[in-house]
A and B are shown apart, each in its own frame.
Chain A
Amino acid sequence: MDHREALIAASTNRSNPSEAAPGIEVKGLSLTYPEEPNALTDINLSIPGGEVTAVIGPSGCGKSTLLRCFNRMNDMLEGCSYSGSIILNGLDVLDPATDVTALRRRVGMVFQQPNPFPMSIYENVAYGPRIGGVRRRRELDEVVESALRLAALWDEVKDQMNRNAIVLSLGQQQRLVIARAIAVRPEVLLMDEPASSLDPISTLRIEELIYELKQSYTIVIVTHNMQQAARVSDRTAFLNQGRVVEYDSTDKIFTNPAERATEDYITGRYG
């Protein structure tokens, strides 16, 4: 197991891999943008570090929007404004003075569609470190290898590092994108329906990967797939129409929800 720990040490900023990843405190978060005035309303969540938190809810309930608040990707939308606060390890994420690019290096993100850059596998993974100022080839090689190993892709691609990433299978592409996110050594990983475009076997591999990664990262995953949420997450938040309906441990949510709406959703009455 110390092999894994070494890997994790190489892929995070923490010198002691057993030290827990930081949690996220969401307080009174509301978000509006012109087309959707009540995208998110008064969200309060306390996301513990080193665990997987799933966000579930019907389409258009604001799950992805919430996720995109954690690394301020919503900034790219026109006319979007926040209120409330998100505290990550003492840093107020939503503070306008917050250095957004630095924040995004602490909070990695994996998207619904695998989006490898149309360049070589190596360059894809090295992209983040390069932008972060890593120039030395040896250092880059190390980062790329450890990220790929951690994403369980190394054995499959180690002989074709210079091939264009877009020739990989979708499942491989998604793991490559995870490796690319890991390579900048974030503390938090955001996953926006990471397996929704994948076949069942690839989905399984991603879920296994999530399980392994949670030792070293705080993971927030948005998913449409209830079974997936039940399988991979420790805590689950149920969102509806921009509000948190219920937030509790996954076991509680799936076996004994406090709210009627949660139960209806989970049992498939709507959504």
Chain B
Amino acid sequence: MSGDLQRMRYSIESVRAREEKLGAVMSAMTAVATLLALLSVVMFLGFLIFLGGDWLANAQSATSGVDQPVKSNFEVLLWGGAELAVSGGVFPAIVGTIVLTLVMTVIVSPLGIVVALYLTEYAGTGWHTRLLRIGIQNMAAIPSIIYGVFGLAFFVYVIGGRLDNLFFAGNLPNPTFGAPGLLWASLTLAILTLPTVIVATEEGLLRLPLALREGSRALGATRSETIFRVVLPAATPSIMTGIILAVARAAGEVAPLMLVGVVRYAPTLPVSVEAPFIHLEQKFMHLGFFVYDLTMHAPGSEGRVGIVAASGLLLVLVIATLNLAALLLRLRLRRTFLRTGFE
């Protein structure tokens, strides 16, 4: 009897030991996978900073003439120089990127907020609401190049072509809005980032308790009064987060722009000091496309690593700053709600 118990205890012990060893190995493997993922991030950032920073730290050496002041590579990157195949440097590209994302933000913010409001405050649970939700969920994962194709076909050729026929017939056959340009690129990016704004805003709106809306309605406020005076003010941080995330995503997109208006070199900036201040029909330069162009048309490929990394670093920094802002905003928002017990 005690022998059976002994044997049983022994076999349990051995199973347990085997299980423990298996667990140790498997958990170690998943931990290693995590380390590898982190390592890949560190390596990428390391290369970017090392290669880009190294190039930036160097000054333009032999190429400048004797009587010219030696330009730092930072200046070369910004304003252009002999080492840059593209004249003008990265400055107009930065301006282009900023103007593009600004126009995009102006378009996408109201649209995204309105759709999110519809989904949370107006829509019922009917099939069309579900369809809209599925559509928006899917929009987020549609390849960005498809948005470019759509932008070209619909905005540029259909809408732009109509506009030209209606208002700029005098310029035809030279297209005004019937060709790729800033407006269409902004619109394309706006649609591309629309799901980001919608999802973030919706999340913020859903986080607000129903009681808040009921409280307002019970005081005799109409639905729109409730939205404007209670719901939207309370959801502002989420909306801001959504918009910042959208801008961060848009700033890194290049593929769709290649179809709707980005160029290697634009002779003038899309903004000016005189009216109309912003030239929506112009083609523009873009930081991401600048990186692409430098890489694609690099004559001696290795020599270009530095400058590509430097301009890439610039782009990553811009996007990282935006993402960080969104992250902090969300953290603050979460803390506020935790304190108030809404969550």
Residues in A lying within 8 Å of B, measured CB to CB: 71, 73, 76, 78, 101-105, 108-109, 111, 113, 115-119, 127-128, 131-132, 166-167, 177, 180-181, 184
Of all chain B residues, which has the CB nearest A101?
A: B220
Which one of B211, B234, B340 lies within 8 Å of A111 (CB-CB)? Answer: B211
In the complex, the answer to whether A113 meets B211 with C-beta atoms within 8 Å is yes
Give the CA-CA distance A162 to B212 in the complex, in Å: 19
Q: Is B295 an interface residue (CB 8 A)?
A: no
For B340, list chain A residues within 8 Å (CB).
118, 166-167
Give the CA-CA distance A204 to B288 in the complex, in Å: 65
Which one of A101, A177, A181 lies within 8 Å of B221 (CB-CB)? Answer: A101
In the complex, the answer to whether B233 meets A71 with C-beta atoms within 8 Å is no
Instruction: From known contacts A73-B214, A73-B217, A181-B218, infer whether A119 and B233 are also in contact, taking CB-CB under 8 Å.
Output: yes
In the complex, the answer to whether B209 meets A115 with C-beta atoms within 8 Å is yes
In the complex, the answer to whether A177 meets B125 with C-beta atoms within 8 Å is no
Of all chain A residues, which has the CB nearest B124?
A: A78
Give the CA-CA distance A73 to B216 in the complex, in Å: 11
The number of chain B residues with a CB under 8 A from chain A is: 21
Instruction: From known contacts A115-B209, A118-B233, infer whether A71 and B218 are also in contact, taking CB-CB under 8 Å.
Output: yes
For A184, list chain B residues within 8 Å (CB).
219-220
Cβ distance B3 to chain A, nearest Cβ, rounded Å: 58
Give the CA-CA distance A116 to B234 in the complex, in Å: 12
Q: Is B230 an interface residue (CB 8 A)?
A: yes
Which one of B124, B217, B220, B339 lies within 8 Å of A132 (CB-CB)? Answer: B220
Cβ distance B125 to chain A, nearest Cβ, rounded Å: 7
For A118, list chain B residues within 8 Å (CB).
212, 233-234, 340
Of all chain B residues, which has the CB nearest A75?
A: B217
Q: Is B46 an interface residue (CB 8 A)?
A: no
Query: For B221, B229, B233, which residue has the most chain A Cβ atoms within 10 angstroms?
Result: B221
Cβ distance A155 to chain B, nearest Cβ, rounded Å: 24
Query: For A102, A118, A132, which residue has the most chain B Cβ atoms within 10 angstroms?
Result: A118
Q: Is B225 an interface residue (CB 8 A)?
A: yes
Instruction: From known contacts A78-B124, A131-B225, infer whether A113 and B209 are also in contact, taking CB-CB under 8 Å.
Output: yes
Interface residues of B in 199-227 (CB under 8 A from A): 209, 211-212, 214-222, 225
Cβ distance B221 to chain A, nearest Cβ, rounded Å: 5
In the complex, the answer to whether B125 meets A78 with C-beta atoms within 8 Å is yes
A-B contact pairs, 9 of them (CB 8 A): A101-B222, A104-B220, A111-B214, A113-B209, A117-B230, A127-B221, A131-B221, A131-B229, A180-B215
In the complex, the answer to whether A131 meets B234 with C-beta atoms within 8 Å is no
In the complex, the answer to whether A104 meets B234 with C-beta atoms within 8 Å is no
Give the CA-CA distance A267 to B77 in the complex, in Å: 85
In the complex, the answer to whether A76 meets B217 with C-beta atoms within 8 Å is yes
Which one of A76, A101, A102, A103 lies within 8 Å of B214 (CB-CB)? Answer: A76
Of all chain A residues, which has the CB nearest B208?
A: A118
Instruction: From known contacts A73-B214, A117-B230, A118-B233, infer whether A131 and B219 are also in contact, taking CB-CB under 8 Å.
Output: yes
In the complex, the answer to whether B220 meets A131 with C-beta atoms within 8 Å is yes
Give the CA-CA distance A206 to B212 in the complex, in Å: 21
Extra pairs beyond A111-B218, A113-B209, A184-B219 (15, CB < 8 Å): A76-B217, A101-B222, A102-B220, A104-B217, A105-B219, A105-B220, A108-B219, A113-B211, A115-B211, A116-B215, A119-B233, A127-B229, A128-B219, A132-B220, A180-B215
For B220, list chain A residues within 8 Å (CB).
101-105, 128, 131-132, 184
User: Which 6 pairs from chain A and chain B are nearest by CB?
Assistant: A115-B211, A105-B220, A109-B218, A166-B340, A104-B220, A128-B219
For B219, list chain A residues within 8 Å (CB).
104-105, 108, 127-128, 131, 180-181, 184
